[in-house]
Chain A
Amino acid sequence: MKQLIELTINNRVYEVPVSPKDLLADVIRDKVRLTGTKKGCGQGDCGACTVLIDGEPVLSCLTLAIACQEKKIDTIEGLVAEDGQLHPIQQAYVDHGAVQCGFCTPGMILTSKALLDRNPKPSEEEIKRGISGNICRCTGYKKIVEAIFAAGETISTAGVK
């Protein structure tokens, strides 16, 4: 049985018909059509489907959509500023060569954001630990760590959220 629920994604309310077993990743991708959220394994192992729920990184492929009502969901599409400028984390990923195939990138960036929101000046060890649930097979992580470090600097200097 499908029911109509409201999901708040990137500060916009979407009314979507879901069945109780529908997963958040599928609802975001297939019903809301925000395809920046990726599915790499469907089993909560790779982190590509990471979204932020109330600011915390969550594996949307393991999360039921109906459990996310009245919560604030952020996907990668919500990160760009209203004037189209990249968020400092996104900019740092581009500038530091932290993107190759790009499939892990949305989830990795959102995980980075949750990390930097908690702690804008993380140590290298804290960054590594923070993104250890997100697999990247292309970059070897080094440039991702560098990008997060640089974004943290920018954010704490400019005070961007």
Chain B
Amino acid sequence: MNKDFTQVGRSVPRKDGPIKVKGEAIYTGDMVLPRMAYGKIKRSPYAHAIIKKIDYSKALEMPGVLAVVTGDEAPNKWGIVPQTANEVALAVGKVRFYNEGVAAVAAIDEETAEAALDLIEVEYEPLPVLTDPFESMKRANEVRIHEDAPENILHSGDQLFGDPDKAFAECTYILEREFSTSYVNHAFLEPHTSLASYDTQSGQLQLWSSTQVPHYLHTQLSIVLEMPMSKIRVTVPAVGGGFGGKGEASSSDFCAALLSRKIGRPVRIVFERSEVFATNKGRHPCHMKVKIGLDKDGYIQAVDFDNTMDGGAYAGWGIVVMFYTASMIHLPYKVPNARANVRRVYTNKPTCGAMRGLGGVQPRFAMECMLDEMAEMIGISPYELKMKNAVESGYRSVSNLHVPHTEYKKCLQTAAERSGYLEKHGKLPFGKGIGLAGGYYISGTAYTLYQSYKPHTTVLLRVDTEGGATLHCAAADIGQGCNTVMAQMAAEALGIRYEDVHVISGDTELGTFDLGSFASRLTYASGVAIKEAAKQINDKLFEVAAGMVGCRADQLEVKDCRFFSKFEPKKTIEWAKVVDVYTNSVGTLTGLGHFSPPRLKGIDLTRGKRVQGANIGHSPTFGFSCQIWEVDVDLETGKIRVDKVTEAGDCGQAVNPMSVDGQVEGSILFAMGQALYEEMKVAPDGKIINASLHDYKVPTAMELPEIDTTIVDSYDPTAPFGVKESGEGPVQPTIPAITNAIYDAIGVRFTDLPITPEKVLKALKEKREKEKSEGK
């Protein structure tokens, strides 16, 4: 274990901090190019309708209008998952959700573009609207959302590991419960923005976009525009948050590109907030039936998981999220037998997709709450039950997930000790409560969307007199700080300071390949590639430095910008001098590193059978955490005040502890919103009735509780620099920890979200009535 780091483990301020606080960071919407036109999208007033006719002749006649495009001009289907690609740039023949785009206009200014939308005449034949997944399945014979999905189901999956039926038959404690989660949006602050510039003479397109996934956007543009990828360049300026919502292409990207190609001048499209809600791609509402069985000693013997997911109108990330929910039941506890039956259903609502901690949040809510209840059945503390079942380093789940390293028990222990959980739980006065939940998330993996195993990340390091050290990688810094973290790791590997590493990211032409910022993959993935690239550079510099100081290269070390002999520390020379000598004689030095995640088969280890979809989530390592929430329920108003959150997380070696704390604190408030406040409300006609940040309530600073976070001592020896994720794991325990705390406070177990004051009051009333009728 090498924890003798100088650059990794430093709480340095982020690289883009100063320009952001000065208001000088350039986001896509801040850019203006010469002759730039402004684009707007005409949207459907129906959630489900046949498009009979689109007439935009009057719009074209309007002075200042430059072009109009409709779906028929770009009918190629795109999709983040190629096997289920069924989206189009603009609706073709049919709209499937309220406010779906049907045409796009480019004009000399935004006002003209907006006015032109009213002159586009669209004739619709409305169809019945399905907003509920169960109704959608039931009425599939009569109303079909996609022709190729006769049951209105995108996909369903069944997984069987071991023999759950036999295991349940032998269990002492069995609990069955149903849970449902709400329809929530990422609510990142910067709306989707795209600026396309097509050069008619060279046939070259450049697109600046507020995206998390420059590479995937690149491939989707190539499909929709029918242009080779080599003719398209995607550039990511500063991005105002993503949380998964910018983890696919956006219709703003396609429309800006199509319009720009049509008129040979740059076109910029900035979404309104209502369009962010309309295009959504937020978290899937899940309706889960879960059964857990424990033996007489409290060890989990079997889990049965049934999930019906409301996917909205299109496929999006759906199939991936669906299999993730199934996959997520196998950790962070040892589950020897498991079954999952999952399905993702189409409805006439804005599509669901990836959202921070995708696939994990919903099953975690169910399982952590049920284990809390089962601990009560047995008569032990939930802490004890979770400790007893917690995974350990080297564990391999029955579904073949391998956990090389975990400090999960340390997380549980630290949070319990720091919060005084054992002293408080079950002993606080009525109305006050404390709740515990754990969680985990994948780290370094990504679903192999191509079914090929090309490296997921490539890093190019360049070292010379002119630039010092420069790191190239087309990763996207969406605010999470990957540029800073990559610079720290590169500095560590090269033996220099993080301040001296330049990072060129977010550009498919300047940066080497990267899949994008999602799935908590980047720190791990880029770390592996950085180490490999730096080694090639060090090998060459060591030879030169050795000659300069007069010792053998294998006796040298590099640290704090100096090469020195391990045995004769006086034999030393500055890093920059060695680089000078190398560059002046040989030229620029480069090193290239790659990362591919491990290739594992999703098999049932007990029977050796391959299990459908179970390769999803195969991750080189996993992050773990525990949260303990203390709440105060106002018995008069039903309002839940959070007094304190105690968190302890295993993110391996923290590259930048301040940044890790920022991820954890951000995750806590993010998931607290889904637990207590947030829900997109959909009318029977499919219209979202709270599509604004006024009516869709995200936490403000007034909701900020006291937060105590601990990065537990951890180092994954199999990971580069010992690292794991910290951006998505910490959202996992939040919802069940709050829910368990509310139970501890008022004795009511909530199973649907958000837990609003209305629901609390209703539950308290029912509880009082029940107690009265039982004569308590």
Q: Could you tell me which A residues sit within 8 Å of B by CB distance?
A: 29, 33-46, 48, 75-77, 79-80, 86, 90-91, 93-97, 99-106, 109, 127-129, 131-145
Q: Which residues of B lie under 8 Å from residue A100 when comparing CB positions? A: 14, 241, 479-481, 662, 666
Q: What's the Cα separation between A76 and B270 when bound, in Å?
A: 22
- The stretch among B26-34, B149-157, B394-402, B565-573 that forms the contact with chain A is B26-34
Contact of B704 among A99, A104, A141 (CB under 8 A): A141
Closest Cβ neighbor of A26 among chain B residues: B110
Minimum C-beta distance from B280 to chain A (A): 15
Minimum C-beta distance from A106 to chain B (A): 5
Q: Chain A's interface: helix, strand, loop or mixed, by majority?
A: loop
- The stretch among B187-195, B257-265, B751-759 that forms the contact with chain A is B187-195
Q: Which residues of B, 461-485, contact A by the 8 Å Cβ criterion?
A: 478-481
Are A140 and B669 CB-contacts (below 8 A) given A36-B22, A99-B20, A103-B189?
yes
Q: Which residues of B, 1-20, contact A by the 8 Å Cβ criterion?
A: 11, 13-14, 16-18, 20
Could you tell me if B22 and A43 are in contact, using CB atoms closer than 8 angstroms? Answer: no
Q: Which residues of B lie under 8 Å from residue A33 when comparing CB positions? A: 32
Q: Which residues of B lie under 8 Å from residue A128 when comparing CB positions? A: 701-702, 704
10 interchain pairs, CB-CB under 8 A: A40-B189, A90-B21, A97-B658, A99-B17, A100-B480, A100-B662, A101-B239, A132-B702, A137-B188, A139-B662
Minimum C-beta distance from B766 to chain A (A): 33
Q: What's the Cα separation between A66 and B30 when bound, in Å?
A: 23
Are A86 and B21 CB-contacts (below 8 A) given A40-B240, A132-B700, A142-B707?
yes
Q: What's the Cα separation between A139 and B18 when bound, in Å?
A: 17
Are A99 and B21 CB-contacts (below 8 A) given A35-B30, A48-B189, A137-B187?
yes
Q: Which residues of B lie under 8 Å from residue A105 when comparing CB positions? A: 20-21, 23
Could you tell me if B273 and A77 are in contact, using CB atoms closer than 8 angstroms? Answer: no
What is the number of residues of chain B that contact chain A, defined by CB distance less than 8 Å? 54
Q: Is residue B670 contacting chain A, with contact meaning CB distance below 8 A?
A: yes
Could you tell me if B701 and A46 are in contact, using CB atoms closer than 8 angstroms? Answer: no
Are A93 and B692 CB-contacts (below 8 A) given A128-B704, A135-B700?
no
Q: Could you tell me which B residues sit within 8 Å of A by CB distance?
A: 11, 13-14, 16-18, 20-27, 29-30, 32, 186-191, 238-241, 243, 270, 272-273, 478-481, 658-659, 661-662, 665-670, 692-694, 698, 700-702, 704, 707
User: Most chain-A Cβ atoms within 10 A of its Cβ — which of B16, B273, B692, B701?
Assistant: B701
Could you tell me if B243 and A137 are in contact, using CB atoms closer than 8 angstroms? Answer: yes
Contact of A140 among B32, B187, B666 (CB under 8 A): B666
Could you tell me if A38 and B698 are in contact, using CB atoms closer than 8 angstroms? Answer: no
Minimum C-beta distance from A80 to chain B (A): 6
Could you tell me if B23 and A106 are in contact, using CB atoms closer than 8 angstroms? Answer: yes
Q: What's the Cα separation between A127 and B704 when bound, in Å?
A: 11
Could you tell me if A36 and B24 are in contact, using CB atoms closer than 8 angstroms? Answer: yes
Contact of A36 among B23, B243, B479 (CB under 8 A): B23
User: Most chain-A Cβ atoms within 10 A of its Cβ — which of B11, B17, B661, B669?
Assistant: B17
Are A104 and B480 CB-contacts (below 8 A) given A137-B670, A140-B707?
no
Q: Which residues of A lie under 8 Å from residue B186 when comparing CB positions? A: 137
Q: What's the Cα separation between A99 and B19 when bound, in Å?
A: 11
User: Most chain-A Cβ atoms within 10 A of its Cβ — which of B11, B21, B25, B26?
Assistant: B21
Could you tell me if B692 and A135 are in contact, using CB atoms closer than 8 angstroms? Answer: no
Could you tell me if A40 and B665 are in contact, using CB atoms closer than 8 angstroms? Answer: no
Are A132 and B659 CB-contacts (below 8 A) given A37-B23, A46-B693, A142-B665?
no
Q: What's the Cα separation between A12 and B694 when bound, in Å?
A: 34
Q: What's the Cα separation between A40 and B667 when bound, in Å?
A: 20
Q: What's the Cα separation between A96 and B11 when bound, in Å?
A: 10
Q: What's the Cα separation between A79 and B18 when bound, in Å?
A: 12
Q: What's the Cα separation between A136 and B668 when bound, in Å?
A: 13
Could you tell me if A101 and B704 are in contact, using CB atoms closer than 8 angstroms? Answer: no
Are A80 and B30 CB-contacts (below 8 A) given A140-B670, A140-B707, A144-B701?
no
Could you tell me if A103 and B669 are in contact, using CB atoms closer than 8 angstroms? Answer: no
Could you tell me if B23 and A35 are in contact, using CB atoms closer than 8 angstroms? Answer: yes
Could you tell me if A109 and B21 are in contact, using CB atoms closer than 8 angstroms? Answer: yes
Could you tell me if A38 and B189 are in contact, using CB atoms closer than 8 angstroms? Answer: yes
Could you tell me if A135 and B670 are in contact, using CB atoms closer than 8 angstroms? Answer: no
Could you tell me if B190 and A145 are in contact, using CB atoms closer than 8 angstroms? Answer: no
Contact of B190 among A38, A77, A94 (CB under 8 A): A38
Q: What's the Cα separation between A90 and B240 when bound, in Å?
A: 18
Minimum C-beta distance from A68 to chain B (A): 18
Could you tell me if A97 and B243 are in contact, using CB atoms closer than 8 angstroms? Answer: no
Q: What's the Cα separation between A33 and B29 when bound, in Å?
A: 12
Q: What's the Cα separation between A44 and B480 when bound, in Å?
A: 26
Q: Which residues of B lie under 8 Å from residue A76 when comparing CB positions? A: 21-23
Q: Which residues of B lie under 8 Å from residue A34 when comparing CB positions? A: 23
Minimum C-beta distance from B608 to chain A (A): 45
Q: Which residues of B lie under 8 Å from residue A95 when comparing CB positions? A: 13
Minimum C-beta distance from A30 to chain B (A): 8
Q: Given contacts A46-B273, A100-B666, A135-B187, could you give 19 more A-B pairs where the C-beta distance is less than 8 Å?
A: A39-B29, A40-B693, A42-B273, A76-B22, A76-B23, A86-B22, A94-B13, A97-B658, A100-B241, A101-B188, A109-B21, A128-B701, A128-B702, A129-B701, A131-B701, A134-B701, A135-B693, A138-B241, A138-B662
Minimum C-beta distance from A76 to chain B (A): 3
Q: Which residues of A lie under 8 Å from residue B243 when comparing CB positions? A: 137
Could you tell me if B693 and A43 are in contact, using CB atoms closer than 8 angstroms? Answer: yes
Minimum C-beta distance from B732 to chain A (A): 15
Q: Which residues of B lie under 8 Å from residue A38 when comparing CB positions? A: 27, 189-190, 240
Are A102 and B240 CB-contacts (below 8 A) given A40-B190, A46-B189, A128-B704?
yes
Q: What's the Cα separation between A130 and B368 when bound, in Å?
A: 36
Contact of B698 among A42, A75, A86, A137 (CB under 8 A): A137
